[in-house]
Amino acid sequence: MTRINRRDFLRLAGGSAMAAGVSGFPGLLLASTRKVVIVGGGVGGCTAAKYLRKLDPTLDVTLVEAKTHYTSCFMSNEVLSGDRNIESITFSYDDLKHRYGVNVVIDNAIDIDPAGKQVRTAGGAHLSYDACIVSPGVDFKWETIDGYDARIAESVPHAWFAGPQTVTLRKQLLAMPDGGRVVIVAPPNQYKCPPGPYERASQIAMYCKHHKPKSKILILDPKPKFSKARLFRQGWSQHYGFGTDDSMIEWIGGKQGGAVSALDATSGTLKTEGGDIQGDVINIIPAQKAGKIAYAADLVADDWCPVDKRTFESARHPGIYVLGDASSAEKMPKSAYAANSQAKVAVAAILARFAGEEPGEPTYVNTCYSIIAEEHGISVAAVYRLNDDGDMITKIKGSGGLSPMNASAEHRKREVTYAHSWFQNVIDDMMQ
């Protein structure tokens, strides 16, 4: 029988990553050898693995991850400006293995049998579970842009999974002549990191301003508006001449014909509703849906995985919990912080279930920073709870908010420092 101060954990689960230390948990009465199998060693999966083992060291926790190291997408835009290298956002699973006792299996999960409670891997393993967690991130809807697919993406990178393609894109920026044009194709909603494409444009502009000042960055967007748009526009005006004839950054939204339907990779031409556009460097971020394993395991409805908002347990297959980008969590954006917060709620719910108790009342948190220039950061934050019917996650009125439009230069500079410490805190909290 497992006894645990669940209410405290649920409260902490919604709290900040830093605040979520659980060392003060009262003695757990432990006699469990239950098995939890986690698919996906990203933010959601690692956070869940670590906290399951911290809260109940008798649990047998297995993390199945396709790659030997985790390269975080968050802060990967800084690789494009040259402010950091790819090594600084790449992390090993050693702490999860040796410090927290998680069985880390480097393999590809290819199927989940909800009736037989087993995860099957490409390497031939059949991993039995009492609870399964799935946090595979997103996959692309390649069919939405003619002429663009996984093979072409090797030379026309999306760089939306941080790693080799981030490095390729950086090299292409370095090789581009001064006066060249970078075209970023932004995705339609919903996708991971709503402000990500616009932070990316800012980071590329930051590099060009110093090294290729005659260059331009054009964002082609199917959407009529985008996340933190007023703050981005303000920052772009301050640093990159946005709104003037000589602006380094230009944004063409859906209403102005910004939707891209095809790519001719040989000539570097994009077909848009407003006509053909050429780029010296092209970065296409395709439309997105839940990761492949979510489809194989029949967890998806309308691109994403519906879940019980109190626990993140799948609405399609009980006993499987879907976290992070792949889940359908309404008002919560698809972000690292959201995945981290959801993981803690799911962990509390699984421990409650193992103890034969009801799950508690969760709160969730999101904080997301974007760095527009060397000394110019902006952020958005919110706390969420269930609505009165318990079936939707809604923002708590008055919680969080956006960076103010009239912030001082000192405030903007401080937000860059906060962004960097936020990054380290999330990494620490999920896997160190």
Residues forming contacts to ligand FAD in the complex (CB under 6 A) are: 39-45, 64-67, 70, 73-74, 76-77, 108-109, 135-137, 160, 192-193, 196, 291, 293, 324-326, 334-337, 339, 368-369
Concatenated DSSP letters of 7-28: HHHHHHHTS-TGGG--TT----
Residues whose CB is less than 8 angstroms from the CB of residue 267 and which lie 6 or more positions away in sequence, other chains included: 278
Q: How far is the CB of 284 from ligand FAD (least distance, A)?
A: 13
The residue among 74 and 251 lying less far from ligand FAD, judged by its C-beta, is 74
Query: Which residue(s) pair with 217 in the sheet?
Result: 182, 249
Q: How far is the CB of 341 from ligand FAD (least distance, A)?
A: 10
The residue among 89 and 259 lying less far from ligand FAD, judged by its C-beta, is 89
Euclidean distance between CA atoms 198 and 191, whole angstroms: 13
Q: How far is the CB of 58 from ligand FAD (least distance, A)?
A: 25
The residue among 39 and 299 lying less far from ligand FAD, judged by its C-beta, is 39
Residue 233 backbone zone (phi > 0: left; psi -120 to 50: alpha; other: beta): alpha
Euclidean distance between CA atoms 351 and 6, whole angstroms: 8
- 410 exposed, middle or buried (CB, 10 Å; 0-12, 13-18, 19+)? exposed
Q: How far is the CB of 357 from ligand FAD (least distance, A)?
A: 26
Q: In Å, how far are 126, 192, 323, 380 from 109, measured between CA atoms?
A: 10, 21, 16, 34
The residue among 270 and 336 lying less far from ligand FAD, judged by its C-beta, is 336
Q: How far is the CB of 34 from ligand FAD (least distance, A)?
A: 21
**Of the candidates 283, 260, 301, the residue with the CA atom closest to the CA atom of residue 145:** 260
Q: How far is the CB of 76 from ligand FAD (least distance, A)?
A: 5
The residue among 220 and 285 lying less far from ligand FAD, judged by its C-beta, is 285
Q: How far is the CB of 389 from ligand FAD (least distance, A)?
A: 26
The residue among 218 and 339 lying less far from ligand FAD, judged by its C-beta, is 339
CB atoms near residue 253 (< 10 Å): 18
Could you tell me the two tokens for 229? 């748009």
Query: Which residue(s) pair with 184 in the sheet?
Result: 219, 283
